[in-house]
Amino acid sequence: EDFSLSGYEHYMRKEYLEQPASAEAVLRGRLDDRFGTPRLNGLNLDPRAKREIRRVKVIGCGSAFYVGQMGAQMIEELARIPADAEPASEFRYRNAVIEPTTLYVAVSQSGETADTAIAVDEIKRKGGRVVGVVNVVGSSIARACDGGIYLHAGPEVSVASTKALTNMALAFAMLAIDLGRVRDLSVSNGRRLIAGLQRIPGQIAQVLENEDQIADVAKRLSGAPSIFFIGRVRGFPVAREGAQKFKEISYRHAEAYQSSELKHGPLALISPELPTVAVVPHDELTGRNLGALQEIGARGGPLVAVTHGDVDFGELIVERIDVPRNEPELDPILLTVPMQLLAYHAALHLGHDIDKPRNLAKSVTVE
């Protein structure tokens, strides 16, 4: 395993540039085109056990929680099982009801995050079934779980997680399709999504080719004391992760908000001094997202859109970062990649210690 910088200035950049290869690694040998379903033998769940799941609860911390939220949405959308995500740091303290028909999913790059590990022990102690979505093989969380999906992202050194998060999102997409295909997700939809997953490594490479333009946008954003990151439904976990990454290494205040909630309060903050980074996928909500952007533009708020080439912003003045289109259910995975580059280049411009941001550790293993 390669822990060296291999000529790069920072681990974070090395790691986000490794993503086409690491995404290939998590998918390798796990996609069955014929039946339009993934093969996730490590879950240790037979089809009957999968069909008996009535609810899915995802737990993780920080960015792992945000990707968990993305994953819960995929599971609910594709498998039609009620699903949600919660920070493990909250879950462990609230004496949660543990149900035998719920599948608990613990997400962690390191597999050593104390809050997540303790939440897993509590679920197991009450007789719940937990699977892990974990990068480090043989880690505490991986060992405590009843089964799981290893991420195969390779070692991640930078505190700001990149390739492991992308692989978590890919693992959740596979889990969602798998649970869907033992229920009502049709073989043709399964095949469509499997083909979409197969395109993702190449499409990540396309996003990364756009690094210079994203770096220009990042430099301009780095001058703002505060930034909004907005998105709705599939776009909201992307916005949350975008704000998290930006805060971690640029030390700028960044707040994620649902685009749908702006008019209920935060619109009062919009001014020429407060830029907004908006996640605008091409899906059934594009029109509504454009409506929210109009509201911001009309109040002089500078706009950056992380979007797809065929979304038309009309007269709106928007700095756009275009990401290739995949299948709408999978687009959040690709839309998250530019967020990493925005944070990295803002922090680089500001001269911060990118791989070891102040006050943070790579994994929080103590209480």
Binding site for ligand AGP (CB under 6 A): 61-64, 108-110, 113, 116, 159-161, 248, 363-364
Rounded to 5 degrees, φ, ψ at 3 are -100, 5
Comparison of 19 and 161: residue with beta carbon closer to ligand AGP:
161
Number of other residues whose CB lies within 10 A of the CB of residue 297: 19
Q: Tell me the H-state helices in 299-330.
A: none
Task: Tell me how far, at minimum, the Cβ of 363 lies from ligand AGP, in Å.
Answer: 4
Nearer to ligand AGP, 62 or 332 (CB): 62
Q: How far is the CB of 353 from ligand AGP (least distance, A)?
A: 14
* Shortest distance (Å) from residue 168 CB to ligand AGP: 8
Question: Terminal CA-to-CA distance of the chain, rounded, Å?
Answer: 29
Per-position DSSP letters for 14-60, written without gaps between them: HHHHTHHHHHHHHHTT-EETTTTEE--GGG---HHHHHT--EEEEEE
Q: What angle do CA 225, 227, 228 make, to 5 degrees?
A: 155
Nearer to ligand AGP, 81 or 204 (CB): 204
CA angle at 25 for the pair 192 and 41, rounded to the nearest 5°: 70
| Residue 339, token pair as written in the block | 């967020």
Shortest distance, position 38 Cβ to ligand AGP, whole Å? 22
Sign of CA dihedral 23, 191, 150, 104: positive
Q: How far is the CB of 56 from ligand AGP (least distance, A)?
A: 19
Cα 333 to Cα 335: distance, rounded to the nearest angstrom: 6
Question: Smallest distance, Å, CB 64 to ligand AGP?
Answer: 4
> By beta-carbon distance, which residue lies closest to ligand AGP?
62
> Exposure pattern of 11-41 as b/e (b: 16+ CB <10 Å)?
bbbbbbbbbbebbbbbbeebbeeeebbbebe
CA 86, 91, 92, 98 dihedral sign is negative
The least distance separating ligand AGP from the CB of residue 216, rounded to whole angstroms, comes to 23
State in angstroms the smallest separation of the CB of 123 from ligand AGP: 16
Complex with ligand AGP: residue 49 or 137, whichever CB lies closer: 137
Written as six digits, the tokens of 293 are 């952007």
What letter represents residue 96's amino acid?
Answer: A
Q: Least distance to ligand AGP from the beta carbon of 160, Å? A: 4
CB nearer to ligand AGP: pick between 109 and 222: 109
Residue closer to ligand AGP (CB basis): 248 or 329: 248
- In order, the DSSP letters of 126-143 are TT-EEEEEESSTT-HHHH
DSSP string, 85-104: EEEHHHHTTTT----TTEEE
| Residue 316 or 364 having the CB closest to ligand AGP | 364
Nearer to ligand AGP, 103 or 119 (CB): 119
In the complex, what is the shortest distance from the CB of residue 212 to ligand AGP, in angstroms, rounded to a whole number?
A: 24
| 78/159 with CB nearer ligand AGP | 159
Q: What are phi and psi of 201, to 5 degrees?
A: -55, -45
Nearer to ligand AGP, 326 or 340 (CB): 340
